[in-house]
Structure 1
Amino acid sequence: MVRILMSKKPRRPGAKIKKHQHLKNNIMAKYSKKAGEKVEEALHEQKEGKLKSGSGKKVTSKKQAIAIGLSEARKEGAKVPKKKD
């Protein structure tokens, strides 16, 4: 039995198929290993309650801890995308 392969059709009328969905698994890393290690370190410190922001206050937000880790990695020259304005 021969099966004809056809592109997937949307499940409902008006639904769109995502562009470049077939490339999902071939995405290159945005951050270097060094940057990943810095973020991991910052998150660990945040969980222990030892991570402090520039003003000296304790960091409680996970997002803020990640931002601090990326910032530290940037200062050390690691491959990290530019900050968004």
Structure 2
Amino acid sequence: MARSQKKKWSHKVTENSDALDLKGGVFKSNDPKAIADSLKHSAEASDRRKSSPFRSAMSMLSFYINRAGNHLSKRQKKTLEAAKDELRKDFGREPK
């Protein structure tokens, strides 16, 4: 039972973040650029975030990757990791 509560908690954070209004299904895309662009748009449009748009967007992406964990396919995890590099490019930061 505790596990399902954790799922609900992380799902709720992803769906109803206090900092960002995310487009539905943003993390399900197979296009890293589309994921990064959507996160960037959400972060820049938000007036509720506490840190920079870059940090808010990157934090939400990292949160999703960490919470999905073993439930992500290798392909989807690779796409989400590539989205981090695209997000860095979008904000003029050097990708790793």
Both proteins in one fold, TM over 0.5: no
As a proportion of its length, which structure holds more helix? 2
Greater C-alpha Rg = 1
